[in-house]
Structure formats: structure tokens, C-alpha cells
Amino acid sequence: MGMDISRLIQERQSSRVPFDPDRRLPEHHLRQILEGARWAPTAHNMQNFEIVVVDDPLLLDAISEIRSETSMAFVEENYQQLSFSEEELKRKKVGLLGLMFPAEWRTPGGKPHLDPEHAHSILGAPIRRCSALLLVTYDSRKRAPASEGDVLGLISLGCVMENMWLVAHSLGIGFQVQSVLSSPAVEREVRRLVELPEPMKIGIAVRLGYPTRSAEYLRVRRDVSDFTHRNRYGRKL
């Protein structure tokens, strides 16, 4: 991990591309990623996570066959975050380029909708062809002290994810969060397949692997002066 930390943070990205199914993750690299998780900051040092590493091809195949459903709420709320040209995205400095999504989700000026015949889909190749799937789970009965809704515990899981992501990127390993695996219907099936006991829940799921092509896409960020206030809100830095 010799890369400069600032450069590492800036270059980190979500690998929304196919992974090479024939290139397995070296055990020592997997261990380095898990070491990143081990040293992540967690509220009250609870270390409130257990990680299931899924790298059995048969198990990955089984998970890839789970049917998922995209909700109308997701489509509509996602639509509000889209830009429909690179110029618009650069101007907004937030959100995503609409071309990353299916045509029916990104019709400018129209209301996005779901075709009932295609509302359900199989998780498919992104899961089946990855080198490993990491399921970051947590005990839903526990929470950080005085943390309503366990907000601090969930923030801790985010720290675990970011540490693993930066280590993976430093090793040239693709990393993509699979939020659909923590949706109730999909989680039930994954729980059964990996024998995840109650009351453990999937907080974050990540696929790891080696991209078969560049994962580059337009990434934008606000300037520091756009979100920083000094001493009083509204007094920009």
C-alpha cells in the first residue's frame, strides 16, 4: 500500500464493470482487505461486525440466481439525482450521469416507471463472476451506547467499508457495493444460503474481483469552499 493516501482517496471508485471470473483473489490480498476492516474505527470500540467471505463458486452461483425487485420508490428517488449530460453533472457537482441506468429510468421530463414484466430480475453475472463476495453483518440487538436507531453503529460499518475499499483499490482489486443484498426479500435468501443466524443482519455486501475493462466514468465532487463554513453556518471558508 505504497500509494499516497490523498491520491488513493481521490482515485477510489465503484467498479461497475464485469470482473474476470478466472482470476481468483490471492489469499494474502484478501487478508490485507480484512485487516483494513479489523482496524476500522467503531463506536465505543464495539467492533460490531462479522464478515462472511463467500468465494465458493457454487455458492456464488446460488446467490446470483436470487430474484430481486427494484422498487418504484428507488426509481423515482434515483431519478431526482440524475444528470442527463456531462455538462449538467459538472455544473451540479453532485449525483450521477443518467446514462449509467436503464432507459426507462432516465427519460428526461418524464415520470420514470417500472415495466411490470421486468420488475423482477436475477442478480446474475456480477455476483457469479466475482472473485469473492463480502457480507458485512451485524447483531441487530446491539447498539452503541445512547445511539438512537444505532446510528453510531451503522456509521461504524461505513468506516469498515471505507477501510476495505481503500485497501482493495491500493491492490488493484475492483470493489462494488451491492446494496440489493440487504433488501428484505434478497437478504432472506442469502441468509439461508450462508446459514446466517438470527438476529444477524446484512449491513453491507461487496463484490471483489479484477475488472475486465476500465471502470472509468465521470466523477464529480463539490469544492471544499462549497460545503465548509467557518465559525457560523453561512460564513463560507
Decide which of 28 and 145 is more confident. Answer: 28
Residue 14 lies in a domain: no
Residue 61 lies in a domain: yes
Total domains, the chain: 2
* 1 has a pLDDT exceeding 60: no
User: What was the pLDDT predicted at 106?
Assistant: 81
- Tell me the C-alpha to C-alpha distance, in Å, between residue 178 and each of 6, 142, 161, 203, 233: 25, 24, 12, 10, 35
User: What was the pLDDT predicted at 118?
Assistant: 55
Report DSSP state, residue 226.
Answer: H
Question: How would you class 135 by CB atoms within 10 Å of its CB: exposed for 0-12, middle for 13-18, buried for 19 or more?
Answer: buried
Strand runs (DSSP E) across the chain, as ranges?
Answer: 50-54, 67-69, 82-83, 96-97, 120-122, 132-139, 174-177, 200-209
End-to-end CA distance of the chain: 33
Asked if 151 and 204 sit in the same domain, the reply is yes
Least confident of 105-119, 126-140, 193-207, 211-225: 105-119
The CATH number linked to 223 is 3.40.109.10
Asked if 223 and 131 sit in the same domain, the reply is yes
Cα 153 from Cα 100, distance rounded (Å): 31
Do 63 and 54 touch, CB atoms closer than 8 A?
yes
Residue 24 lies in a domain: no
Cα 39 from Cα 59, distance rounded (Å): 28
Assigned C-alpha cell, 6:
490523498
For 8-58, write each residue's pLDDT tens digit.
Answer: 999 999 999 999 999 999 999 999 999 999 999 999 999 999 999 999 999
For 184-207, write each residue's pLDDT tens digit.
Answer: 999 999 999 999 999 999 999 999
Asked if 100 and 189 sit in the same domain, the reply is no
Asked if 160 and 57 sit in the same domain, the reply is yes
User: What was the pLDDT predicted at 149?
Assistant: 85
Asked if 114 and 63 sit in the same domain, the reply is no
The parent domain of residue 78 ranges over 71-118
Asked if 112 and 84 sit in the same domain, the reply is yes
Asked if 185 and 104 sit in the same domain, the reply is no
Least confident of 19-23, 105-109, 170-174, 187-191: 105-109
Omega before residue 21 within 30° of 0, cis: no
Mean pLDDT over 61-70 rounds to 92
Mean pLDDT over 120-136 rounds to 91
Asked if 157 and 181 sit in the same domain, the reply is yes
Residue 192 lies in a domain: yes
User: Do β-strands 96-97 and 82-83 pair in parallel, antiparallel, or remain unpaired?
Assistant: parallel
Q: What three-state secondary structure class fits 203?
A: strand
User: Could you tell me the pLDDT band of residue 121, with boundaries at 50, 70 and 90?
Assistant: confident
